[in-house]
Structure formats: structure tokens, C-alpha cells
Amino acid sequence: MKIVFLDHHTLNADGLSLDGLNSVGEITLFPTTKAEQVLERCKDAEVIITNKVKIQSHHLDYLPHLKLIAVAATGYNNIDIDACQSRSITVCNVRGYSTEAVVQHTFSLILALTNRVRYYSEEVSKGRWDQSGEFSFYDHSIPELNGMVLGIIGYGNIGKRVADVASMMGMEVIAFKRSWKNENHAKHQLVSLETIFEKSAVISLHCPLNEESKGMICQASIEKMKKTALLINTARGGLVVESDLAQALNSGRIAGAGLDTLNQEPPGENPLIGLNNCLVTPHMSWATVKSRKNLLQGIIENIKAFQLGKPINVIT
């Protein structure tokens, strides 16, 4: 099969080998692809692999050989699903490949904020530790996670793993999930969204972005939070009204935020970047070596299953 990977640099920016893809067909790799390049690059493709490059209805009209779109991610909002379905083009994704990586990054953000890692590293560089004359230098209160309330919004696979790790660190976990079906025996206490906002010392977002959740972190919800609250977002940037969060951080309405996703990526000008009490990382919580190897293997398995006539992880 003729296979085109439109944006492989999202998967192997550090040189991770993609040789495994050779086992499923004649592969053509492009590090990145602009919208106007899609048709030329995919005109003979039977399979397209894409992470973030959009495949829309007007593309499909000119791709007569296309049989499968293998999304190199879990999210597939860059694909016109209805148009693929009407043309009998299979779309599949890869699920669960980065759960442990996102959990790891979630706690790296929490700990960086509570322990003020950036601040103290900078103060040491300025010579303040030497100037203090003390074996231990600190000029801010340092809280412990043990005993803190962690509120998790989105109690899926990632949210549950974050809850498990938090519990092992002595945190009190409460969680919100829109549908509580099949959660009668949940390991952690399920509560209302209002309770999450009002009781949590740390709020961590792990829910999908949809019409219900879009902009859920806004002035109204922030007003319900503790002034000492920390907000963590490793889910989707659209969950947060960024101007409202920036205002809350600048005014001291909440204590801090750690964000791995933003509304626009890359962000350009953004009111959250550069704030002393806001850490922003470049949407890399998913990108450990192990996770990317898991993702690559998932892509290969999806293509092989399709070739055998037994597609898996099918969206449409």
C-alpha cells in the first residue's frame, strides 16, 4: 500500500526511528505539511497518517485511492468524519498510548508550582543562597501535597491514574465526571463540579473538549475557587478562557497555574505566557519516548488490521 505520513516530525522530533512503518507498505515521510500541500502529496495515497494536518471534504474529492486515514493521536477533530463516512473511508486512532506520560507531567507541574522550582533555581543563580549565609535558603512557605484536596475534572483513564498517584502521595482526591454510568464502585469520591471548584487546593483538567466543556474555566468558575488554588491543564486549551485566567492570576484571585495546552498552538501572543505564577509548557506532556513508541506501534497495528480486513480502533 502507498502510505503518506504528513507530519512525522510531531512523532520523532528527537530522531526516534520510524523504520517500523516500512513493514506495512511503501511509506513516504514529510516532516510537516501545509494545507496547500495536502493534495499534491496525497494524490496517490491509499493510507494517510496524520497527527494534526487537516483532512477535509474538499481534499477527499481529489483523493480517489484513499482507503484509510490513520490518525497519529487519540483526538481526531482535524478529520472531516462525516465526509469520510459518506465515502467509505475508514478512520482510526490510537488510544491510551500516553496515559503514564500525561500523569507524570501533571505532577511535574503541580510540584514545580508548590515547590517553586523555577523561582528557587533563578534565585540560586542570582547568588541569593550564598548571600543568605544559611545552609538552607527559602523565603516562601512551601506546602506539602500530603493532605491537600486534589479535584480532578474528567475521570477517564488519565484522570483515574492521576487520582491513584495523588492518593499514594497522601492527597485527598475528589473527581467530577459528566456521566457516572458504570462508576458505582469508583475508587475515589465523585462530586459535583461546584464542589470541585469550592474545595480543591489543586484542580487538574483531564476531560475532552466539547460544547459542554468549552470555556468551563472562566471568571464565574474561578470566582468559586480558593485564593490558594492551583489550576493544572494537560487536556485541551479550549477548556480555559485564557483572558479570564490571566486576570485571575495577575490579581491574585488564584495562586497559580500549570498549562501544557493553550487555545492556539503555537500560541503567538498570549496573556498567560511570562506570568510569574503561571508555567506554560509546549504541549509535550504526551511526548515521552515510551509514549511515542507506543503511538508508533499503535499506528502500525491499525494499518495491519485494516490490511487484514479486520480494522480496529475505528472512528468511522
pTM for the full model?
Answer: 0.93
The DSSP annotation for 98-158 comes to THHHHHHHHHHHHHHHHTTHHHHHHHHHTTHHHHHTSSS---S----STTPEEEEE--SHH
CATH match of 99-280 with 3.90.1010.10 = no
Catalytic choice (26, 194, 223, 265): 265
Give pLDDT tens digits for 19-63.
999 999 999 999 999 999 999 999 999 999 999 999 999 999 999
CA-based nearest residue to 209, from 241, 183, 231: 241
Please give the biggest Cα pair distance in the chain: 73
pLDDT at residue 113, as a whole number: 98
For the segment 231-236, the average pLDDT, to the nearest whole number, is: 97
Catalytic status, residue 265: yes
What band does 179 get if pLDDT is binned at 50, 70 and 90? confident
Give pLDDT tens digits for 109-153.
999 999 999 999 999 999 999 999 999 999 999 999 999 999 999
Fold match between 2-97+289-307 and 99-280? yes
| C-alpha span between 225 and 234 (Å, rounded) | 19
C-alpha cell recorded at residue 293: 513508541
Catalytic choice (105, 206, 283, 292): 283
Looking at residue 254, its amino acid is I
Catalytic status, residue 144: no
Return the domain boundaries, the chain: 2-97+289-307, 99-280
Catalytic choice (8, 105, 116, 236): 236
pLDDT at residue 186, as a whole number: 74
Catalytic status, residue 65: no
| C-alpha span between 299 and 305 (Å, rounded) | 10
Which class is domain 2-97+289-307? alpha beta
For the segment 82-86, the average pLDDT, to the nearest whole number, is: 97
